[in-house]
């Protein structure tokens, strides 16, 4: 009898998994030929890739400077693997710290003009660690409504309070701080917003934070290597390098690797190294990733022409899309969205572009406001003008088919 009960229980699905059975949207999208996710690439993240056996123009990569296949970056990763092996087999806190990790931290701090830096296994974990460690029980976390998901998740891990302000709205940020005068506040914003490509109003945000004595964290994931005369990010862009308390970022965009970082005052970084749980309880970055980021940082510094080419490409793409009548929203960076008013239009547009050999990303709520959707495009320094012209031709053809194009070049 006992055995039969165990067998019956094994055949009955646990209720907590019922949601998985009900989640049929991916299957329905796939059956309609409109599933846009997890399309495997069969080649490196270059301007043109192989996907489903076809050569396509990659127009949604964050490999902004085109360094993920640079010979110096690849060589550095290979040399590090031969010397250190493939992994560190422990956390930074215990046995997982290499001299290579410390070299990257030192060079990052020097590059960003801060006293110190610490690197995390991913950019996502950097934000989890920074926010959850710095915001205590009696503190307030204040977020821009369009901050990255990792920042929101970090605030959920913290034990402090949470309030949001309207996107890039300095007056609303001041309202939040004004109504919480007696509570120490940690304000976190993106330097560049990853979906719409707009830049944080850092001058206004810095001014408000200083007047209300709030600490400011800026996540420059999409700004490092892109903004600023030296590619140092949004604070350099506005000449506010020493007005930000903590910089966060990632190596997975301009630095052609994986990993994240926090940079700031030495005592703040020391505190994070002993309180940021995603750092303390995760295995440290493998040697190849650290060496690749180091090499990419060196190239970023010595080849400013890559950044200029990136901006030239972004300008060409944005102006071309706008000339066709597409709405590129507030974008002022190499992230150039095509904003649409429904998920269905975005999916249809994505599918037609895919058929034309253009690999883009359709973006829906909650990554963008309810009632909108967009096709996210992003340039690389290594895109050619001929490739971008093919992109514009595909957008024009697809837009005409869907009656989205009002103007014609």
- Of residues 101, 167, 253, 273, which has the active-site annotation? 253
Q: Which of 264, 285, 302 is the last residue of a domain?
A: 302
pLDDT band (50, 70, 90) for residue 1: low
Q: How long is the chain?
A: 409
Which is it for strands 48-51 and 116-120: parallel, antiparallel or unpaired? Answer: unpaired
Helices (H), 140-230: 149-157, 170-178, 202-211
* Separation between Cα atoms, residue 349 and residue 402, nearest integer Å: 7
Residue 237's domain is classified under what CATH number? 3.40.640.10
User: Are residue 336 and residue 209 in the same domain, yes or no?
Assistant: no
- What is the structure's pLDDT at 3? 56
Is 253 part of the annotated catalytic residue set?
yes
> What is the distance of C-alpha 157 from the center of its chain?
20
Alpha carbon distance 228, 147 (integer Å): 21
Q: Are residues 108 and 227 in the same domain?
A: yes
pLDDT tens string 28-40: 999 999 999 999 9
Quote the distance between the C-alpha of residue 88 and its chain's center.
25
4: in domain: no
Mean per-residue pLDDT, 132-149: 96
* pLDDT at position 142 over 90: yes
Are 253 and 293 contacting, i.e. CB atoms less than 8 angstroms apart? no
Q: Are residues 253 and 285 located together in one domain of the fold?
A: yes
- Clarify whether residues 150 and 230 are in a common domain: yes
Whether residue 248 is contained in a domain is answered as yes
Q: Clarify whether residues 42 and 127 are in a common domain.
A: no
Q: What's the CA angle centered on 312, arms 51 and 307, to 5 degrees?
A: 85
φ/ψ (deg, to 5) at 152: -60, -45
Instruction: Tell me whether residue 222 is one of the annotated catalytic residues.
Output: yes
Q: What is the mean pLDDT of the segment spanning 86-108?
A: 96
Query: Annotated catalytic residue: which of 70, 148, 222, 383?
Result: 222
**Using one digit for the tens of pLDDT, what is the confidence trace for 44-92?**
999 999 999 999 999 999 999 999 999 999 999 999 999 999 999 999 9
How many domains is the chain partitioned into structurally? Answer: 2
> Is residue 258 domain-resident?
yes
- Catalytic residue of the set 194, 282, 284, 361: 194
Q: What is the mean pLDDT of the chain?
A: 95
Angstrom CA distances, 94 to 87, 124, 383, 406, stand at 14, 21, 43, 60
Q: Which DSSP string corresponds to 288-315?
A: HHHHHHHHHHHHHHH-HHHHHHHHHHHH
Domain containing residue 345: 29-58+304-401
Residue 371: what pLDDT? Answer: 86
> Cα(98)–Cα(95) distance, rounded to whole angstroms?
9
Contact (Cβ atoms closer than 8 angstroms) between residue 347 and residue 361: no
Question: How many C-beta atoms surround the C-beta of residue 166 within 10 A?
Answer: 14
Structure tokens at 317: 């793409």
**CATH code for the domain in which residue 50 is found:** 3.90.1150.10
Q: Is 361 a catalytic residue?
A: no
Can you tell me the distance from the alpha carbon of 59 to that of 387, in angstroms, rounded to the nearest whole number?
A: 10
């Amino acid at each position: 009898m006992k055995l039969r009960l165990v067998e019956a229980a094994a055949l009955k699905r646990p209720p907590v998994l019922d949601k998985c059975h009900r989640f049929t949207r991916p299957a329905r999208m796939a059956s309609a030929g409109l599933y846009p996710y997890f399309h495997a690439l069969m080649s490196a993240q270059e301007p043109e890739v192989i996907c489903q056996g076809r050569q396509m123009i990659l127009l949604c990569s964050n490999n902004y400077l085109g360094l993920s296949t640079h010979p110096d970056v690849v060589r550095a990763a290979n040399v590090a693997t031969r010397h250190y092996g493939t992994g560190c087999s422990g956390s930074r806190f215990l046995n997982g710290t290499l001299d290579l990790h410390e070299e990257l931290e030192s060079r990052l701090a020097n590059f960003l003009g801060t006293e110190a830096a610490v690197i995390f296994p991913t950019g996502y974990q950097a934000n989890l660690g920074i926010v959850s460690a710095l915001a205590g029980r009696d503190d307030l976390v204040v977020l821009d409504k369009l901050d990255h998901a990792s920042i929101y998740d970090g605030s959920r891990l913290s034990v402090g309070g949470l309030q949001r302000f309207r996107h890039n709205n300095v007056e609303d940020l001041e309202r939040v701080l004004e109504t919480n005068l007696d509570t120490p506040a940690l304000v976190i914003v993106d330097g560049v917003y990853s979906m719409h490509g707009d830049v944080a109003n850092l001058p206004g945000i810095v001014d408000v934070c200083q007047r209300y004595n709030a600490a400011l964290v800026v996540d420059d994931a999409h700004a490092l290597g892109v903004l600023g005369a030296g590619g140092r990010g949004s604070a350099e862009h506005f000449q506010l390098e020493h007005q930000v308390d903590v910089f966060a970022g990632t190596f997975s965009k301009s630095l052609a690797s994986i990993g994240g970082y926090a940079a700031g005052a030495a005592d703040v970084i020391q505190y994070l190294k002993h309180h940021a749980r995603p750092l303390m309880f995760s295995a440290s970055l493998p040697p190849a990733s650290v060496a690749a980021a180091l090499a990419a940082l060196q190239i970023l510094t010595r080849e400013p022409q890559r950044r200029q080419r990136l901006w030239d490409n972004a300008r060409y793409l944005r102006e071309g899309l706008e000339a066709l009548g597409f709405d590129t929203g507030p974008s002022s960076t190499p992230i150039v969205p095509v904003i649409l008013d429904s998920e269905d239009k975005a999916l249809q547009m994505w599918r037609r572009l895919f058929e034309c050999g253009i690999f883009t990303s359709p973006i829906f709520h909650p990554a963008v406001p309810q009632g909108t959707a967009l096709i996210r495009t992003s340039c690389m320094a290594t895109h050619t003008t001929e490739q971008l012209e093919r992109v514009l031709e595909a957008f024009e053809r697809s837009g005409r088919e869907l009656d989205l194009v009002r103007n014609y070049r």
